[in-house]
Amino acid sequence: MLHLHRAERADGLVDALRALLADPLPDPFAPELVAVPTRGVERWVAQRLSNGLGASPGRRDGVCANVLFPWPRALLADAVAAGSGLDPAADPWRPERMAWTLLEVVEECLEEPWLRTLREHLEGGAEPRARRLTAVRHLAALFDRYALHRPELVRSWTAGEGDGWQPELWRRLRARIGRADPAERIAGACARIAAEPELLDLPPRLSVFGLTRLPAARLDVLRALAYE
């Protein structure tokens, strides 16, 4: 079941989280998962949790132990990959993996007229290979954000819509990878996660703390993880 808690101050939220974690999981060796957006938030939450968890009455001598703080994005991306039948570590659409495939496509097509804008951008400066790799990594990060925040856009590109070099580059990349992209597979992955929760090696309780915004696609994954 998915529960949403809001407060004007984070202090109230972390106090509520500490009260929740004070009720132990059935398996004493299972870690608690508290997804946080930054390492600074992780340090603050861990410190606040340790003030009360396991503390002596009237004292702040507790400890925050066996609590994992994954990135929300990585956690949910791994869930989608598993729901799509992929090994999350080998997902070809992860930006760091996608960049190398994208580099292959760019190098093969760089002299074609439709990629002239990118070619002109890459022509200036020393060390063209390094400049090309930097640009491709930036493009991979952009494509990843498009799939997350504007899935309808990349789905239309995959369907053959859209003019310009970015839609065409996306289609060439999609053909080279040969696997459904994150925007295509989200609905099917969420349905499978909800129907087969054993696909994911997760404890029975998952908390997400300190998010100020959440793309609709990620909210769909959270709902699937919380399905009963």
Walk along the chain (228 residues) and give the pLDDT tens digit of each residue: 788 888 888 888 999 999 999 898 889 888 999 999 999 999 999 999 988 787 777 777 688 889 999 999 889 888 998 999 888 888 899 999 999 999 999 999 999 999 999 998 888 666 667 788 999 999 999 999 999 889 999 999 999 999 999 999 999 999 999 999 989 999 899 999 999 988 888 888 999 998 888 888 888 899 998 875
Whole-model pTM? 0.77
In this structure, the number of other CB atoms found within 10 A of the CB of residue 154 comes to: 24
Give dist(CA 138, CA 99) in Å, integer.
Answer: 8
Tens of pLDDT, residue by residue over 18-38, are 999 989 888 988 899 999 999
According to DSSP, the β-strands at 32-35 and 67-68 are parallel
Give dist(CA 36, CA 77) in Å, integer.
Answer: 15
Give dist(CA 24, CA 83) in Å, integer.
Answer: 28
| Spatial CA neighbour of 148 closest among 176, 185, 201 | 185
Tokens of 180: 């459904």
Give dist(CA 115, CA 104) in Å, integer.
Answer: 14
Domains of the chain: 10-85+190-225 (3.40.50.10930), 93-178 (1.10.10.160)
Burial zone of 126 (CB within 10 Å; 0-12 exposed, 13-18 middle, 19+ buried): exposed
Tens of pLDDT, residue by residue over 133-175, are 999 999 999 999 999 889 999 999 999 999 999 999 999 999 9
